[in-house]
Structure 1
């Protein structure tokens, strides 16, 4: 067994083992000295010769002390080595604990040297940026930054060493970073300086703010929608009363005008019996005041006005149903009616772009967070209209169907738009991801839709074909008893 293994496996202290080994070497030295002395005096190798040698040579007794001297020396050396080994083991243990702590931190940790070269990256940072540790070690940290910032980073470090002015050290700040797939995302960064073994290093503590920003935007939108809901409820109430007056008066006017036409027709029958001069005067008067045009056009105007007021009433009712003020309250709704109300609200988005085709099955009521679900329907319908517009092939079609499947309902919203590229199909639910031009979208719609459907213990998925269109499917449970 090698000596190193003997040391690690032996229950004896290291000092004792080294003392024993040293004494053993000393004993070998003594035996070798005896042998050489006997050979020098041409004496046979025997116990008697050894005894005789000790009687005649005092130096032999000194040599015999070698095992004791070397054993003591080995023991003392072992004590020193034991102390060193304990300190080394303690240091290795502490370093292992430190490495384990760094590796298991929730925040990402990146260590770079004075040249900006990455020296270490923990698991959290690797997960945030999408690189393995092997892919980053030795590379310049600029790879994790937008191009314009990365190109200046080495200059920032050089300026710090030239001026010794720390502008950003030990300050938490929000920056933009770049993942391995090229995605730019918000990051919280705090940089600290470290001097170690004569070298200077910088330690960056990083946190991905994508989810935080998403939640902040959702909270902002929720508050905005709540305010809009309150405003819509108030406007709906204010509009509803005068619209009721207008509708009632128009219907009364329609009835009165019909009575006038009936009366005028009776006058005409009587005038036929009158003298020719009177008939001619009445015909001239009717022609002068465009009586035939008034009789023909006024009922149309009244009917159009009644249709307009009914349209306004429908919009007001849709606004009230769409904008539930209490967004945290679970309610039971008719999904078909919710989609109809959403179509009314979104009419301006698709009226010049697409025809609407609906195929609604008879559905039981569904327990849900009504405002959140209405928001999902609105987002998918508006997205469908934008997809048709992006295709640029003229007027398209948005088809919406519903059906019951066991204890779930399924909603399908299809369009004949441009479709979703397979290269981005895995990212469409990511926060802030959008392919729309600036001002058309925030990249939050489908992300929020996915969260809302998940909140309902439901599922959302899609199928798409380039230049043919996309269909989004939603499955929702009829009851939310299992949602926590």
Structure 2
């Protein structure tokens, strides 16, 4: 800031100059007037002197009264402001033999001396005097008597004029000082003091440089108006600041809470001065301020290029950048622009973490590749259908399943390759896919190229584009044969169970009938009450026989429709079927039903699976346990973590650890060929996992029942709630 003078000094100088100018004008006027007045007086005085000298010298010269007229000259010079009077006396000149006798008086300092023609100073003074008047003295007859030279000096005029100048200067200084003092007092009291208070109030500021208090009011109207106007401005500034602070707080809060990472860096983008929590989380640092953001970029030159573009006033939006943070790769969509922060050029950056999306994209790419590999090389037939079931794409396994070439199959449809008896069901299945999004484990008969019919298990899923259906088909023709074999085996065992179950009721009926016949043959009267009692007993046994027939019929009846069923009720129905077999082998079944759920499933298939598991337990117990007290099967149900676990434990000593991982393989068995086929647990695994979306696990375990410990196999069926 340039050096500036105090207002007091400026005001004093201004007053001094104004007074000086005014006094100079006045002094000039006085000087000119005085000078003119003096000159007029000098002229008037010289005229009077000339007249006096003319009259007197015209008498004295002819009388040769030199002394008398020299005295007259002396008196004239003395009494008047005359510098010198020189007389050329022609009469006296004739006496002395000269043209003229020259005499006179002249001032020399404070004295009046005789004029000396030989005194160069006298002669020079006459030549340089301020005012000179010369005239001739004539007689009455107009005869020349002499010549007078009268000189008037300007010393008096100079003295008076110098006095005027001196007086003017003194007056100017005095008046200036007086005015300065008076006006200074008024200026200080009326102007500077209020202004000083205003300045003091303006200097008393808060951290934002805004005055804390209002400006004080003064005596003058103008200063009051200034203070009022300034106070209005201050109020407006404070209000604006409050609004800005609120906006700043909201903005800062929004930035802090923003899920998008934000950071501001100055010094050409090399020093972080602001960052929000999301940015700190993004770069895995607790403290970010003053750090160099470039160190987090995998490619340091990339950030230099970004800063260079920002320097050239370019803006960058949604640029994918790669960070290397603590040996981990982090991807972000970044935007940059130049801003002013604390009055300095800075670079602001926004970062949206897309690492998860990037990894998902990579994972999706991998999954796509995996899907394409699976689609191409899986043993199951895969095909893509349009909504009318026309084939769009398929893998080699599907071509092999149908026997058609690629060109031939592209002209076919899934409905068209369906056996007549299953076409209606297949169309309904596709409609279910369009409605619900999927159809799982749907079985149908498929017509293939060579005229054969194969049984397939299909799952259909509507893809996200809502225009394509993914079909997975598996040839279960051989599997159905296995199931039929298993069912036949179960039916054979069930027939044996029925034979055991019917033996006692038939014996009871036979005994009652024989008793009535004997009584009749011996002529004994059969009482009506006894007859009714026997008939009731016979009816009970026939109802029991009828129920066993119904159970057998329900078991052998095939159904492709799922129904709502209770897990515990299904177990109970299974136990009814195998009851006699277990009873004949002295195997005790302990039931502990803690929980139960209902599922959508195939009851007969589930009975088949549970019966196969129980038969495996029965065979293990019969083979490995001799003591009837040790023959136990323990069945329990319990809900754990939103899953119903059906646990079937037996006391059959367990499964060899070398075989436990093979128990679900088709045709795997450790039994004699006359006892087992090796398809029971394999079929159970398929029914549980594929048809009921559940899990089956087998392990060896030790369990307690009736306060006694047992060792054997444990099979868990896990149903999702």
Between 1 and 2, higher relative CO (CA 8 Å, sep ≥ 6) is seen in: 1
- Bigger proportion of residues as helix: 1
- Bigger proportion of residues as strand: 2
Range of TM-score over shorter length: 0.3 to 0.5
Task: Give me the TM-score of the superposition, normalised by structure 1.
Answer: 0.38
Which structure: larger Rg?
2
